[in-house]
Structure 1
Amino acid sequence: MKHLAYLNKFFYKYRWRLLPGIIFVIISNIFAVLPARVIQIAFDLVSENIGVYRLFDGFERQELVHEVFSSSLLFFGVLVLALALLRGLFLFFMRQTIILMSRHIEYDLKNEIYAHYQDLSMSFYRRNDTGDLMNRATEDVSRVRMYVGPAIMYSLNTIVLFILIIFSMVNVSVKLAFFSLLPLPLMAIIIYYVHSMINTRSEQIQKQLSRLSGFAQENFSGIRVIKSYGREDDIRGKFAEESEAYKKTSLALVQVQAIFYPVLLLLIGISTIVTIYIGGLEVMDGSISAGNIAEFVVYVNQLTFPVMSLGWVTSLIQRAAASQKRINEFLHTPSDIHFKTSSPLQIKGKIEFRNVTFVYPDTGIKALNNVSFTMEPGQFVAIVGRTGSGKSTIANLIMRMYDPTEGSILIDGVPLPDVDLKQYRSQLGFVPQEVFLFSDTIANNIAFGEASTDMPKVHQAAKDAAVYANIMKFEHDFETLVGERGVTLSGGQKQRVSIARALIKSPQVLVMDDCLSAIDTKTEEEILRNLGTNLQGKTSILISHRVSTIKNADKILVFDEGQIVEQGNHEELLETDGPYRYLYEKQLLEDQLPEKK
């Protein structure tokens, strides 16, 4: 239960729903136990007065005895029905308080998990599968809700009913109560033994379900690749294997439950037989009445459902504990990124790297090695280099998706950890290398970073990104729905929509990570020209592998194997016979080859 202890704060929060629910449980069970006493009185009434009825056989008073006898039985019948109705009423109140409380806790827990996900750094998402993240926020939370709702409700109901019934039994006959409840310790031992088995197999089920969800989510996202390579049958076979593994783990739990319930029913049956036998001996001794046997049989049968529900409740609690353990693992995972909240921040755009070394925590790859440089406010800085040289890592560090392993990064002379991260990022524009568009309209995708969709600003951002003309050719122009991950648009259109999304913010610092790779040279020149006009006095960083894109930059940083091997402007770098000149001449030659053909 140590994992489920995390939920205690929610029980305290909703205590004014839980406490009335407990009261309703107690009242409903009082009305559940009382009918047994009424039946005992009615049974004794029948057994005692049947002789009186026969005694007046042939006399007129026999009819009077019959009327009184019938009226009494009718009264007791109506009383049992009234008690059942009252119990049903309070059971309704019980569910309206406890089950509704569980829905509120489910809502709060999902929001808490999602909010924590938002605070975690990129390294967390590199380490964990998307399907597993989704499963913990949905399926695991649903299992926890079954604990805070039905499991607690039925557990309270069982405990209160046990106490009331045992008290009533002992009040009538200690000996008969002892023999009637004799199988209960054996039940407790069986339940204790089954606990560990249910817990282990529940954890296996959840882990396999996460794998199955992750596998399906990944393949749905990459369906175009699967179809392009004709791998449908292979993927279908792998999915069947994952489903088979989930089926086996689920059946393993079902097998435990399949044995558990019949054994409990057998013990309940034995308890009834013992009650009748021992009760008969007690009646013969004159210790109790025949009505008491009927009363005890009712009590034993009333315990049938609570005892049977013990197995179900046990399963719910154990599965909830397994799920809450998985949820706690993520909720207790601290973010690698910490920051101090501050007064309103207005950045100017000076960025300084001081002896920065960065190693990716999940792979151990050293992306940067002792890198130092300075970007002045308003500068257009370009970063170029071969694949894997550390260019994108610079963008991630500037956006503070990660913190450097060694060294420091300063913005306007202030170390990044001392800057309010939300205010800092709100003044940055970022165009990632891998464009991501939401399943929404083009207008809403462009206005994603804004509080509302201001259409004039959206149109202007689209024009600056040279995508306005393309959008207007669509049937619904800016209201065109973008498919999942932007599948509706071409690669170049997605990149330009992503650029428009960054430009609409009028950022003080714009970071573009190789976002012009799918755009033709003419459109690229138009975008860069618009950027030069709109970003005057603002710092812009362009990461690219094409020299033609960056030759007008104020400063060019040439990276190789995580280090800066050259820096300067285009003309200065061409004068030195270094990597930049080699890269420039190579690309120039590649551009001229098609013309010769």
Structure 2
Amino acid sequence: MKHLAFLNKYFYKYKWWIIPGIFFVIISNIFGVVPAQVVGHAINIITENISIYSLFNGFDRQEIVYSIFSYSLFFFGLLILALYLLRGLFLFFMRQTIILMSRHIEYDMKNEIYAHYQELSLGFYRRNNTGDLMNRATEDVNRVRMYVGPAIMYAINTAVLFCLIIYFMFSVNVKLALFCLLPLPVLVITIYYVNTLINLKSEKIQAQLSKLSSFVQERFSGIRVIKSYVREAHNQEIFANESQIYKHNAMGLVKIQALFYPSMLLLVGLSTILTVFIGGKQVIEGAITPGNIAEFIVYVNQLTFPVTMLGWVTTLIQRAAASQKRINEFLQLKPDIISSNTTTQIIEGKISFKDVSFTYPDTGITALKNINFDLEKGQFIAIIGRTGSGKSTLANLIMRMYDVDSGAILIDEQELKTINLNNYRNQIGFVPQEVFLFSDTIKNNIAFGLSTVTDEEVERAATNAAVYNNIINFEKKFETMLGERGITLSGGQKQRVSIARALIKEPKILIFDDCLSAVDTKTEEEILNNLGRIMLGKTSIIVAHRISTIKNADKIIVLDQGMIIEQGTHQELLNKAGMYAEMYDNQLLEEENR
């Protein structure tokens, strides 16, 4: 239960739902137990009146006795009906408080988990599967809701009913009550043993379900690759094997439950037999009345449902504990990137790297080593290098997606770690190497970085990104819905929509992370010309492979194996006849051979 202690703050928050709920549970059970006493009195009246009726056999008063007897039974029948109607009413109130409270807690938990996910750094998402993250925020939360709602409701209901019935049993006859409750120790031992098995099975089921969800999510995201390589049958086989493991674990839990419920019913049946046998002897001895036996049988039958529910409730609790343990594992993680500064400031755009080194924490790969350079406000800087040289890492560090291992990044002579991160990122336009578009309209994808935007601003950003003409050719133009990850658009169109998303912010710093690779040279030139006009007086950083993209940059930095090996203007680097000049010659040769 230590994992479920996390939920105590929610119980405190919704205490004015729980307290009335408990009150309604108690009242409903009182109205549920009292009918047993009414039945006992009714049975006693029946036995007594049968004797009296027999004594007046042949006399006129026999009809009067019969009439009184009939009215008495009718009265008891109406009384029992009224009591059960009241019980039903308070059961309704009980569900309207406790079950509704569970839905509110579910809502709060999902929001808390989602908000926490967004605070965690990129390294967290590199280490964890998307399917597993989704499963913890949906399936696991739902299992926890079943604990804070139905499980708690039935547990309280069972406890209250049990206490009431034991009290009334012992108030009637101690010996008969003891024999009725004799199977209880066996019940306790059985529940304890089953709990352990249920907990183990539940953890295995949840872990396998997360694995299955991750597999499906990843395969559906890469469906085009699967179809291209004709691997449908192979993936179907893997899915079937994973599903078989889940089925095996789930069936194991079902078998335990299937054995548990009949065992509970058997113990309750044994109590009924003992009640009739011992109670019969007590009646013969004159210690109790026949009505008391009927009363005890009603009590035992009333315990049947709660006792059998114990198995279900313990299953819910154990599965909720397993799910909450998985949720807590992520909620207890602290974000790697922390920004405590709340002051807002306007970024000018001067960037300095001072002996910056960085190693990816999850892989141990050293991406950058002793990087030093200065970028003045309004300059256009380009970063080029071979694959894996650290270009994208440098762009991510400027965005502070990661913190440097050593050295410092200065923004306007202020260390990046001390700047209000949200305010800083709001003034940056970032176009990542891997373009991501949401399943929404083109307009909303372009306007994603702004809270309010006009149609004219969206169209202007699309024009500057050289994608306007493509969009207006669609039937619904800017209201065209995109498929998952923007699958409706071509690679070049997706890149340009992503560029429009960055340009519409009118950023102080613009970072292009190799995002012009899918556009032709004419479109690239148009975008760069528009960029030169839009970013005049503002800082621009372009990561690229094609030298034609960056030859007009104020400064070009050449990276190799995480180190700066050359920097200067296009002409200065050609004059050095180093790595940059070699790359330039190779690209010219490739163009000539096309």
Q: Say whether the 8 Å CA contact 1:24–1:91 is kept in structure 2.
A: yes
Q: For residue 344 of structure 1, report the CA deviation from its aligned partner.
A: 2.0
Corresponding residue for 1:538? 538
Q: Say whether the 8 Å CA contact 1:385–1:558 is kept in structure 2.
A: yes
Corresponding residue for 2:359? 359
In 2, Cα distance between equivalents of 1:409 and 1:72: 92
Q: Say whether the 8 Å CA contact 1:443–1:453 is kept in structure 2.
A: no
In 1, Cα distance between equivalents of 2:351 and 2:416: 10
Q: Which moved more, 1:59-68 or 1:568-577?
A: 568-577
Corresponding residue for 2:520? 520
Q: How does 1:133-532 map to 2 (within 5 A)?
A: 133-532=133-532
Superimposed CA distance per residue, residues 472-498 of structure 1 (whole angstroms, 9 cap, x where no aligned partner): 111111111111111111100100000
Query: Counterpart of 2:558 in structure 1: which amino acid?
Result: V
Query: Counterpart of 2:260 in structure 1: which amino acid?
Result: F
In 2, Cα distance between equivalents of 1:342 and 1:60: 97
Corresponding residue for 1:99? 99
In 2, Cα distance between equivalents of 1:217 and 1:250: 21
Q: Secondary structure at the residue paired with 1:11? A: helix
In 2, Cα distance between equivalents of 1:37 and 1:492: 81
Q: Say whether the 8 Å CA contact 1:444–1:453 is kept in structure 2.
A: no
Unmatched runs of 5 consecutive residues or more in structure 2: none
Q: Secondary structure at the residue paired with 1:363? A: coil
In 1, Cα distance between equivalents of 2:425 and 2:200: 44
Q: Secondary structure at the residue paired with 2:287? A: coil
Q: Say whether the 8 Å CA contact 1:355–1:371 is kept in structure 2.
A: yes
Query: Counterpart of 1:154 in structure 2: which amino acid?
Result: Y
Corresponding residue for 1:577? 577
Superimposed CA distance per residue, residues 180-226 of structure 1 (whole angstroms, 9 cap, x where no aligned partner): 00111110111011111101110111111111111111111111111
In 2, Cα distance between equivalents of 1:40 and 1:469: 87
Q: For residue 67 of structure 1, report the CA deviation from its aligned partner.
A: 0.3
Q: Which moved more, 1:52-61 or 1:237-246?
A: 237-246
Q: Secondary structure at the residue paired with 2:186? A: helix
In 2, Cα distance between equivalents of 1:267 and 1:453: 69
Q: Secondary structure at the residue paired with 1:303? A: helix
What's the Cα RMSD here?
A: 0.7
Matched pairs, number: 594
Query: Counterpart of 1:29 in structure 2: which amino acid?
Result: N
In 1, Cα distance between equivalents of 2:344 and 2:393: 28
In 2, Cα distance between equivalents of 1:499 and 1:315: 52
Q: For residue 571 of structure 1, report the CA deviation from its aligned partner.
A: 1.1
Between the aligned residues of both structures, percent identity stands at: 66
Q: Secondary structure at the residue paired with 1:373? A: strand
In 2, Cα distance between equivalents of 1:23 and 1:497: 59
Q: For residue 452 of structure 1, report the CA deviation from its aligned partner.
A: 2.5
Q: For residue 245 of structure 1, report the CA deviation from its aligned partner.
A: 0.9
In 1, Cα distance between equivalents of 2:475 and 2:131: 35
Superimposed CA distance per residue, residues 430-484 of structure 1 (whole angstroms, 9 cap, x where no aligned partner): 0000000011111111011111241100010011111111111111111111111
Q: Secondary structure at the residue paired with 1:400? A: coil
Q: For residue 342 of structure 1, report the CA deviation from its aligned partner.
A: 2.4
In 1, Cα distance between equivalents of 2:167 and 2:466: 82
Q: Say whether the 8 Å CA contact 1:340–1:417 is kept in structure 2.
A: no
Corresponding residue for 1:77? 77
Query: Counterpart of 1:366 in structure 2: which amino acid?
Result: T
Q: Secondary structure at the residue paired with 1:434? A: coil
In 1, Cα distance between equivalents of 2:381 and 2:464: 19
- Would you say 1:65 and 2:65 are equivalent positions? yes
Corresponding residue for 2:49? 49
Query: Counterpart of 1:37 in structure 2: which amino acid?
Result: Q
Q: Secondary structure at the residue paired with 2:371? A: strand
Corresponding residue for 1:26? 26
Q: Say whether the 8 Å CA contact 1:383–1:558 is kept in structure 2.
A: yes
Corresponding residue for 2:118? 118
Q: Secondary structure at the residue paired with 1:450? A: coil
In 2, Cα distance between equivalents of 1:200 and 1:117: 27
Superimposed CA distance per residue, residues 316-375 of structure 1 (whole angstroms, 9 cap, x where no aligned partner): 000000001101111111100001232221111111111111111111111111212111
Q: Secondary structure at the residue paired with 2:402? A: coil
Which aligned segments of 4 or more residues in structure 1 are displaced greater than 4 angstroms? Answer: none
Q: For residue 574 of structure 1, report the CA deviation from its aligned partner.
A: 0.9
TM-score, length basis structure 1: 0.99
TM-score, length basis structure 2: 0.99
In 2, Cα distance between equivalents of 1:36 and 1:490: 74
Q: Secondary structure at the residue paired with 2:355? A: strand
Q: Say whether the 8 Å CA contact 1:358–1:368 is kept in structure 2.
A: yes
Q: For residue 377 of structure 1, report the CA deviation from its aligned partner.
A: 0.9
Q: For residue 83 of structure 1, report the CA deviation from its aligned partner.
A: 0.3
Q: For residue 389 of structure 1, report the CA deviation from its aligned partner.
A: 0.3
Q: Say whether the 8 Å CA contact 1:166–1:177 is kept in structure 2.
A: yes
In 2, Cα distance between equivalents of 1:344 and 1:394: 24
Q: Secondary structure at the residue paired with 2:559? A: strand
Q: Secondary structure at the residue paired with 1:553? A: coil
In 2, Cα distance between equivalents of 1:323 and 1:376: 51
Superimposed CA distance per residue, residues 486-533 of structure 1 (whole angstroms, 9 cap, x where no aligned partner): 111110010000000000000000010000000111110110010000
Unmatched runs of 5 consecutive residues or more in structure 1: none
In 1, Cα distance between equivalents of 2:202 and 2:591: 61
